[in-house]
Every structure is written in structure tokens, then in C-alpha cells.
Amino acid sequence: MYMKKEKMKTRISLLCLLIGMLSIPAVLQAQTTPLPIRTDSNEGVAVLPDYQEEDNTLSPKEFARQIADEQAVLLDVRTPEEYEEGHLEGAKLVDYKSDEFEEQVRALDPQRTYYMYCRSGVRSHKALEQMKEMGFKHLYELDGGITAWKSEGLPVK
């Protein structure tokens, strides 16, 4: 009787082990969606963007397509020094870190559509959120900033 119980336990253990081993490929093939984490080397921190109902982030190629529209207003929210190093053609400099940022934004027409970028996407995201709070509705940002733009081989002036 004792031997039967031991054989039964062994069989159950082997069956569980077999099921576990067979499920490994399924677990490894499961797809996951990574969190969109942005980093800004000036701040040295990773930032998880706030949840948004509308996705205002555009890939470099989609951003290029949309800013080709003559009605689009392109904002570079980097510093004047960064702007001078190279910027997208037609971009208006509105330095997010400047004390005049809010004043410059208030001078803009909140009914227009704005496309903004910075170096990596952190400042443009913050600027977009601040402009939303100020009543702007049509706002888009370049995913990965001008760094991603350049890595796609897109032109910089």
C-alpha cells in the first residue's frame, strides 16, 4: 500500500513538472507593452508620462508629415543655445525653462494647432501639459524630441 502511494506521488510530481515545462514557451512568447519612460539628462531622472485619454505623441515621420501643413505652428521649447545648435525649419523658439514661457504662450492663439519638441521629449511633454491647463486643445509633441528626429535622418536647420 505504501509503495502505491509513493508511486502515485511520484507520477503526480512528474506530471506537474511536465506541465510546467510545457508552459514555459507560452510564457516566453507572451507579449508585453513596455511603459513609455522618458529621461532627461539635465535632470538625471526617468519620468513616466501622465495618463492621457488622447495620444498627443507623434513619431518623427508622422510629426514631419503633420508639420508640413501650412496651418501648423511649430514650437521649439529648448533653450536659445540648443536652438542655435540646430532646429527644425520654421520652428518658433519658446524656451520652456525661461521665466517668460507662460507669457509667450499666452500670446499664442489657443485655437491653433501646435506641434512642439525639445531634445528628448521631457520638456515638450511638460510644456504640452501646461498649455493644456491654459486652455489649448490642439497640441502634439515629437516622440523622443529632436534626438529621435535626427536619428531618423530628418533635416535640421
Structure confidence by residue, pLDDT tens digits, 60-72: 999 999 999 989 9
Catalytic positions are: 118
Q: What number of CA atoms fall less than 13 Å from residue 7's CA on the CB side?
A: 4
pTM: 0.66
Contact assessment for residue 97 and residue 123, using Cβ atoms and an 8 Å cutoff: yes
Q: Which stretches does DSSP call E strand in the chain?
A: 38-40, 45-47, 57-58, 73-76, 92-93, 113-117, 138-142
Instruction: Provide the mean pLDDT of the chain.
Output: 85
Please tell me the predicted confidence (pLDDT) of residue 15: 76
Nearest to 108 by CA among 146, 145, 75: 75
Domain spanning 38-151: CATH 3.30.930.10: no
Higher pLDDT, residue 41 or 91: 91
pLDDT of residue 135 exceeding 60: yes
Parallel, antiparallel, or unpaired: how do β-strands 45-47 and 138-142 relate?
unpaired
